[in-house]
Chains A and B, each alone.
Chain A
Amino acid sequence: MTVLDSTWEGNLNELKGLVSERALSGETMVLNMGPQHPSTHGVLRLLLELDGENIVNCVPDIGYLHTGIEKNMESKRYEQAITMTDRMDYLSPMGNNLVYCLAMEKLIDLDVPPRAQTIRVLLAELTRINSHLVWLGTHALDIGAMSVFLYCFREREKILDIFELVSGQRMMSTYFRPGGIWRDVPAEFEPAVRDFLDYFPAKIDDYERLLTNNPLWLDRTQGIGFMSADDAIRLGCTGPTLRGSGVNWDIRKALPYSGYENFEFDVPTGQHGDVYDRYFVRIQEMRQSLRIVRQALDNLSDGPVRSNNRKYVPPPRSELGTSMEAVIHHFKLWTEGFRPPKGEVYVRIESPRGELGCFLASDGSPKPWRVHFRTPSFVHLSALPFLAKDHLIADLVAIIGSIDIVLGDCDR
């Protein structure tokens, strides 16, 4: 067997260990997919070793969207760093805010008023629907069902309008703050969400009519990208990807946070662990999210939306004119920031994609010593070689869609 020393621009020997010996001798083909590819959901590069159209090996290459968010956060004060979390998983900004705020609150043992918790849950569930809509649209588009994409983005606009209503921003909202939320929701918020609740269920039926029993859809998704429950746990899969394999584990149920224990909802699970089941789980999740949103809206109590702990939460603007103490707190918080006690916490939430974890280490200074995000896309992408093995290259596109990756979430 002759091993080429150099090819058109690289050294083939560098591929040793990544692809099989057959590729080095030229028996199988090594193909580069991405990083600019319409169906890799962002800047993901895959190195594929192909035998005909069959995938022998798949080597993901990430880092094209690495922006050093974890390093950057170490140089910002706790509250300033929230803005960076929006930019990780850009389809689920509220979820990222939530996990970081929960980590801060756990670190400093800060209370969150019930109204703020309910609004957080409500918006987190709307974010889940928003993220699932983009996933459904792009996933269907990859497989060839174009119209679903247009419908999904039409409905997503309504959710983004609600985000804009509360935070002034459609996507990078930075709405959750330690101890509560930035400010109370406006009066138009409730009717807007009620409108969406009336409008949206029929739209999910529409998507299902287009896809769920569509023979082409079934052909492309059933039996593809199979993963058993044991393999899913072994590879660290969480969220809908794990539940598609039949494991009933939802962090909202198992380790409730932000008052999820007060809500009634079901956890949909699949049976076979293929692309179709993961699709089905996410569709059902949208319906469950609507249930949660409805309950949250019905149970929305009056009251403050931010904690009263002035060591960590700035006083309202109105107090600044009358209270010297408020001025001092305001000044201290905006010039120096707050100082949490020394310690390390790990908080996990159920993001639309799976377990989103935040490890936060404090050394007692106003800036976090170390922030680490355990992001679901990162873990799911590391399971891709296992899922893609021995599939056709056309099925790879369906598999990438079914694990619902966001590269911003993956690379951070």
Chain B
Amino acid sequence: MAQVNPIAVLQTAFPEAVTDVQTFRDETTALVDAAYIVDICRFCRDTEELGFNLLSDITGIDYHPQQPRFAVAYHLYSLIHNQSLRLKVLLPDDDPTVASVTGVYPAANWFEREIFDLMGITFTDHPDLRRLLMPEDWDGHPLRKDYPLGYETVQFSFNFDEVDKHKPYAKE
């Protein structure tokens, strides 16, 4: 089967969902409307000329202080046609929510949990959306740009209590 341009196929099938197409270093990124992501993923997987059957990766990006602040990038790969495609959805600062693609790609399960945990993006209809890497009672989402990297002031005997008072304990 001849290779087709996945972007052209996507644009024909979802003319209103594909908002922008970017190409950088031979990598194609389709910016898509967050409301359509599950439909588009299902279309990418099930359409024969696309055949994106492997979900390589999902990652969240925080563009703080830009708006819209968050993005979720889906890296799809087709074992059949040996080509890859990046889908990207942009999400607003307040209540970043996107539908889960675990129904289409079961491999998305932990990727989405990781993004939920570290980036604070909620995935609706996810079967088991819990924190994955951080402790369950952790506050905040470490990979957000406004989350400080964290360091500790060196404690000496003369300032032990003073430093201890300001230590960022996880529980607080």
Contact indicator B82/A63 (Cβ below 8 Å): no
Q: How far is the CA of A369 from the CA of B61 in the complex (A)?
A: 9
Mark out the residues of chain B between 90 and 139 whose CB falls within 8 Å of any chain A CB in the assembled complex.
Answer: 105-107, 109-110, 114, 118, 128, 131-135
How far, in whole Å, are A240 and B110 apart by their CA atoms in the complex? 21
Interface centre among B24, B53, B147 (most CB of A within 10 A): B24
| In the assembled complex, B69 has its CB within 8 A of some CB on chain A | no
What CA separation (Å) do A65 and B25 show in the bound complex?
Answer: 34
Q: How far is the CB of A387 from chain B (nearest CB, A)?
A: 13
Does A157 lie at the interface of the complex (its beta carbon under 8 Å from any beta carbon of B)?
no
Q: Do B61 and A106 have beta carbons less than 8 Å apart?
A: no
Q: Are A379 and B25 in contact, CB atoms less than 8 angstroms apart?
A: no
Which residues of B lie under 8 Å from residue A348 when comparing CB positions? 56
Q: With A and B bound together, what is the CA distance between A378 and B135 in angstroms? A: 17
Q: A128–B82 Cα gap in the complex (Å)? A: 24
Q: Are B54 and A233 in contact (CB under 8 A)?
A: yes
Taking CB as reference atom, which chain B residue is nearest A64? B133
Docked pose: A233 CA to B25 CA in angstroms = 27
The answer, among A63, A235, A343, A359, for a CB contact under 8 Å with B75, is: A359
CA distance A45 to B78 in the complex (A): 33
Known: A75-B149, A234-B106, A344-B24. A372 touches B57 (CB 8 A): yes
Cβ-defined partner of B110 (8 Å) among A249, A346, A369, A378: A378
Contact A346 B27 (CB under 8 A): yes
Say which residue of A66, A344, A374 sits within 8 Å of B56 (CB atoms): A374
Q: Determine if A63 and B61 form an interchain contact, defined as CB atoms under 8 angstroms apart.
A: no
| A255 touches which of B25, B82, B147 (Cβ 8 Å) | B82
A234 near B56 with CB under 8 A, answer: no
CA distance A109 to B29 in the complex (A): 18
Q: Decide: A233 and B53 in contact? CB cutoff 8 A.
A: yes
The answer to whether A370 touches B62, judged by C-beta atoms less than 8 angstroms apart, is: yes
Q: What residues of chain B lie closer than 8 Å to A70, measured between beta carbons? A: 118, 143
- Kindly identify which residue among A343, A374, A378, A382 contacts B24, using a CB–CB cutoff of 8 Å: A343
Question: Is chain A's interface secondary structure helix, strand, loop, or mixed overall?
Answer: mixed
Residues of A within 8 A of B135 (CB): 63
A26 within 8 Å of B (CB atoms):
no
Name the residue on A nearest B57 (C-beta): A374
* B149 pairs with A72, CB closer than 8 A: yes
Which residues of chain A have C-beta atoms less than 8 A from B131's C-beta? 63
- Do B143 and A236 have beta carbons less than 8 Å apart? no
Q: Which B-chain residue is minimally distant from A14 (CB atoms)?
A: B136
B residues within 8 A CB of A254?
82
A17 on the interface (CB 8 Å rule)? yes
Chain A residues numbered 296-346 whose CB sits less than 8 Å from any CB in chain B: 343-346
Of all chain A residues, the one with the shortest Cβ separation from B45 is A234
Residues 51-85 of chain B: 1 if any A CB is under 8 Å from the residue's CB, otherwise 0? 00111110101100000000001010001001010
Give me 13 A-to-B residue pairs in the complex whose CB atoms sit less than 8 angstroms apart, sorted by A's number: A63-B132, A75-B149, A236-B107, A344-B86, A346-B57, A346-B75, A346-B84, A348-B56, A357-B75, A370-B59, A370-B61, A370-B62, A379-B110
Q: What would 10 more interface pairs be, CB under 8 Å, given A346-B56, A370-B62?
A: A17-B128, A71-B143, A72-B149, A233-B79, A234-B107, A249-B79, A359-B59, A361-B61, A372-B59, A374-B57
The 9 A-B residue pairs whose C-beta atoms are closest, nearest first, are A236-B107, A374-B57, A382-B110, A63-B133, A372-B59, A66-B133, A343-B24, A370-B61, A359-B59
